[in-house]
């Protein structure tokens, strides 16, 4: 890889990729045979895409099942490490992150889906000269802010660039930053031309005039794709089958609420994201529903095969085919 074409603007990458491969029982977390328990779920960013998880907490779906769920935001890949070093029972994120850890000796599995489309968008500065109508040519030589190295946005960006006939190492500059939402300041300060972003940051950038409407809608480009799932260790999932079933059933109630009750979903989003304007939240939810982000807990074998293929083509999953949909998915406990 030609790192001369990569700009890394934040530290922490080495630590994020130095995986501590300790058997996971969830340090501080407790589960028992009756299905009750207290667990921590680590998230890489606080995202409206994760609204079903927040909804299951806010509406009492977890507490009604005897489960106390705490969500902690850990950036720079630390959400994966939190599961590997026992400080979280699971993380919400891409199954490919678990597969990458598995290629280094871990045994992580995705037990249920949350975001069922690749919830990222490419947005360009008005002065960048990047246009949806001539995307491949207008991207040449441009600086693309993709978040942390090895994260799902970067993995998918490499895949989409190659679909356009562009070499991520030669034809563009990849700008990495571990700080969630940093793409706003990077594009605003002219340190990047294009942001690979998600909601609600996408809507904030549009509202502030930092960028326009997306030049690439990845959910529509890829179709069904397990962008974010609940990922835990196989040992955690199997330790208390009744707990895992109850956890997933409660999460499913959160998904159902978000899908079927947009007004209550919006009220929960307002509570979770108090700094966002009502207009940004409404536009964010409208886009999410239009792109069909939340379809349920199930993850198809075909979608996971695509997930692994994207990760391999990006060069970030090097496993000689060790990871398969059957090894990465553990859907035994779905309600």
Beta strand 216-217 pairing with 224-233: unpaired
The answer, yes or no, to whether the previous bond of 137 is cis (omega within 30 of 0) is no
**Rounded CA gap, 290 and 231, in Å?**
26
Map residue 91 onto helix, strand or coil.
strand
CATH of 22-118+223-328, one of 3.40.50.280, 3.50.50.60, 3.40.190.10, 3.30.565.10: 3.40.190.10
pLDDT band at 32 (very low <50, low <70, confident <90, very high): low
Q: What pLDDT is stored for residue 177 in this prediction?
A: 85
- Tell me the angle at which helices 262-272 and 51-58 cross, rounded to the nearest 10 degrees: 90
Structure tokens at 276: 């966002």
Q: What pLDDT is stored for residue 13 in this prediction?
A: 34
Q: What pLDDT is stored for residue 14 in this prediction?
A: 34
What is the full DSSP assignment across 150-192?
TSHHHHHHHHHHHHTT--TTTTSEEEE--STTHHHHHHHTTS-
Residue 195: strand pairing partners: 123, 145
**pLDDT tens-digit readout, 82-116:** 999 989 999 999 999 999 999 999 999 999 999 99
Closest CA to 187 of 141, 237, 140, 144: 144
Model pTM? 0.85
**Rounded CA gap, 123 and 58, in Å?**
32
Q: CB-based contacts of 245: which residues, under 8 Å, 6+ apart?
A: 35, 333, 335
- Size of the chain in residues: 335
The CA-based dihedral angle spanning residues 57, 63, 66, 70, taken in that order and rounded to the nearest 10 degrees: 40
Q: What pLDDT is stored for residue 17 in this prediction?
A: 35
Q: What pLDDT is stored for residue 20 in this prediction?
A: 38
* Mean residue pLDDT across the chain: 90
Q: What is the percent of the chain where pLDDT is above 70?
A: 90
> Of 27-31, 72-76, 77-81, 162-166, which gets the smallest average pLDDT?
27-31
**Domain formed by 3-9+119-222, architecture:** 3-Layer(aba) Sandwich (3.40)
**pLDDT tens-digit readout, 256-303:** 999 999 999 999 999 999 999 999 899 999 999 999 999 999 999 999
162 exposure class (CB count in 10 Å sphere: 0-12, 13-18, 19+): middle
User: Where is 202: in which H helix or E strand?
Assistant: helix 201-208
* CA dihedral sign, ordered 201, 206, 211, 214: positive
CB 198 within 8 A of CB 43: no
> Of 14-28, 41-55, 204-218, 241-255, which gets the smallest average pLDDT?
14-28
CB 226 within 8 A of CB 93: no
Q: What pLDDT is stored for residue 33 in this prediction?
A: 66
23 CA to centre of own chain: 24
**Do 22-118+223-328 and 3-9+119-222 have the same topology in CATH?**
yes
List the domain boundaries for the chain.
3-9+119-222, 22-118+223-328
| pLDDT reading at 24 higher than 60 | no
Beta strand 173-176 pairing with 143-147: parallel
Map residue 264 onto helix, strand or coil.
helix
């Amino acid at each position: 890889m030609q790192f001369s074409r990569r700009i890394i603007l934040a530290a922490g990458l080495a630590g994020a990729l130095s995986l501590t491969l300790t058997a996971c029982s969830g340090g501080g977390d407790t589960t028992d045979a009756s299905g009750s328990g207290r667990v921590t779920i680590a998230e890489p960013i606080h995202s409206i895409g994760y609204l079903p998880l927040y909804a299951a907490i806010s509406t009492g779906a977890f507490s009604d099942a005897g489960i106390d769920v705490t969500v902690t935001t850990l950036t720079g890949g630390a959400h994966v490490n939190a599961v590997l070093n026992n400080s979280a029972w699971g993380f919400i994120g891409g199954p490919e992150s678990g597969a990458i850890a598995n290629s280094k000796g871990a045994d992580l599995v995705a037990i249920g889906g949350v975001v069922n489309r690749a919830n990222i968008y490419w947005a360009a500065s008005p002065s960048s000269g990047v246009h949806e109508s001539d995307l491949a040519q207008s991207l040449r030589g441009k600086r693309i802010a993709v978040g942390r190295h090895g994260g799902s946005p970067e993995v998918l960006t490499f895949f989409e660039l190659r679909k356009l006939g562009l070499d991520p190492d030669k034809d563009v500059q990849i700008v990495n930053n571990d700080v969630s939402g940093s793409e706003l300041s990077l594009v605003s300060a002219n340190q990047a031309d294009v942001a690979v972003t998600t909601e609600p940051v996408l809507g904030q950038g549009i509202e502030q005039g930092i960028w326009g409407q997306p030049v690439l809608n990845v959910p529509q480009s890829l179709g069904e794709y397990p962008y974010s799932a609940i990922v835990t260790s196989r040992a955690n999932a199997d330790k208390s089958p009744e707990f895992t079933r109850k956890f997933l059933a409660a999460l499913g109630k959160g998904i159902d609420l978000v899908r079927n009750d947009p007004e209550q979903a919006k009220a929960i989003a307002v509570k979770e994201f108090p700094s966002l304007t009502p207009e940004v939240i409404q536009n964010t939810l409208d886009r999410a529903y239009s792109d069909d982000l939340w379809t349920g807990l199930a993850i198809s074998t075909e979608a996971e095969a695509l997930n692994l293929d994207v990760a391999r083509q990006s060069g970030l999953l090097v496993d000689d085919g060790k990871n398969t949909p059957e090894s990465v998915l553990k859907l035994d406990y779905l309600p």
